[in-house]
Homo-oligomer: A and B are copies of this chain.
Amino acid sequence: MPEPSPSRARRGRRRGAGLTLTDVARLAGVSPITVSRALNTPEQLTAETLARVREAVARTGYVPNRVAGGLASSRSRLVAVLVPTIASPVFLETVQAMTEAFSEAGYQVMLGQSGYGTEREEALLDAIIGRRPDGIIVTGIMHSPEVRRRLGAAGIPVVETWDLTPTPIDMVVGFSHEKVGLSVAEYLLTRGCRKPGIISADDLRAGLRREGFTAGVARAGVNEVPAALVPTPTTLGAGRRSLAALLERHPDLDAVFCSSDMMALGALTEAAVRGIDVPGRLRVVGFGDNNFAADASPALTTVRIDGTAIGRKAAAFVIDRAEGRPIEHHVVDLGFQIVPRASA
């Protein structure tokens, strides 16, 4: 060993705040490890030592380097949240709730947009796994076997959300899309609808709701369900145009189940423009209970999903795992609720 300390000066590396735990320790007159404890397990120190360290931290404006901490402890305190796209308002509430819950617990959220294709998902996955997050939360259940394998192999807690499966990779918190479809079918049939149609996004989960809906109305002998499929993301315009198209082919349509509130609002708009009475001649049901649903005219009947609860539960799962607490039930069904309003 040629010389003990001038390494810092010699090396041309980019210096961050340039302040390390050792600097703070020197200033406080304690060892580095004591500073580490002051930050992580303050209850282990005497009040006096703690105060000394705290003062040194305040004086210097030291902010601990969590990258180094993460490497040393194998706990990055980073959680990856994967959504198809952030632009769709559906998951927003969930992402918000998760971000808050994690933030409070000292974790940071890494956002990943997987798109709606599995290949992009796989590429993203390596970028994510490379960061060694303490957990990964994905939207929807993962189907690609390759993705499932990689996720399993990485040994990182995984929470699948917004859907349900008896065989999650690890944990799942959501609700049954099929049951949503069934319930809405029942709701409309009870109100006398005999010619219901559907306006649906072409993604997997919307498809499940569609299937449930179709199965539900079939029980009452309605075997043909006119459907309009629109590419994600769903928009008000798509809702308008889809309703127009459906009415063209089926003028006797007496209900539509839309796979998003925004499309339902479009259906409402189109109906208003055409002078079609809602719910008198046409009933409209949305999905999501977005914050505009209750104030639409007529107020929108829709399916309420507690996105906040999903986000919080998913976050709790990850945090429990990270802290080493055992998980009781790996599958959590948070259900849904049909909110009856004026439109249906």
Interface pair A108/B100, CB less than 8 Å apart: no
* Contact bitstring A301-339, B, C-beta under 8 A = 1, else 0: 000000000000000000000000000000000000000
Interface pair B272/A295, CB less than 8 Å apart: no
A17 to B, closest residue via Cβ: B154
Query: Which A239-291 residues have C-beta < 8 A from chain B?
Result: 240, 262, 265-266, 269, 272-273, 291
Interface pair A61/B237, CB less than 8 Å apart: no
Category for how many chain A residues contact B? 35 or more
Tallying the copies of this chain within the complex gives 2
Q: Which residues does chain B contribute within 8 Å of A269, judged by CB atoms?
A: 295-297
Instruction: Report the Cα distance A236→B81, complex, angstroms.
Output: 29
Judged by a CB distance under 8 angstroms, whether A9 is at the interface is no
Instruction: Report the Cα distance A85→B18, complex, angstroms.
Output: 32
Looking at the assembled complex, report how far the CB atom of A310 sits from the nearest CB atom of chain B, in whole angstroms: 14
Instruction: Report the Cα distance A262→B295, complex, angstroms.
Output: 11
Judged by a CB distance under 8 angstroms, whether A64 is at the interface is yes
Instruction: Report the Cα distance A108→B130, complex, angstroms.
Output: 11
**Chain A interface residues toward B at CB < 8 A:** 13-18, 61, 63-68, 70-71, 73-76, 78, 81, 85-87, 89, 92-93, 95-96, 99-100, 103, 106, 108-113, 124, 126-132, 150, 153-155, 233, 235-237, 240, 262, 265-266, 269, 272-273, 291-292, 294-297
28 contacts between A and B (CB under 8 A): A15-B74, A15-B155, A16-B132, A16-B155, A17-B153, A61-B150, A63-B129, A63-B130, A66-B130, A67-B67, A67-B131, A67-B132, A68-B71, A87-B92, A103-B112, A103-B113, A103-B127, A108-B112, A108-B127, A108-B131, A111-B111, A233-B291, A235-B291, A262-B292, A265-B292, A266-B295, A269-B295, A269-B297
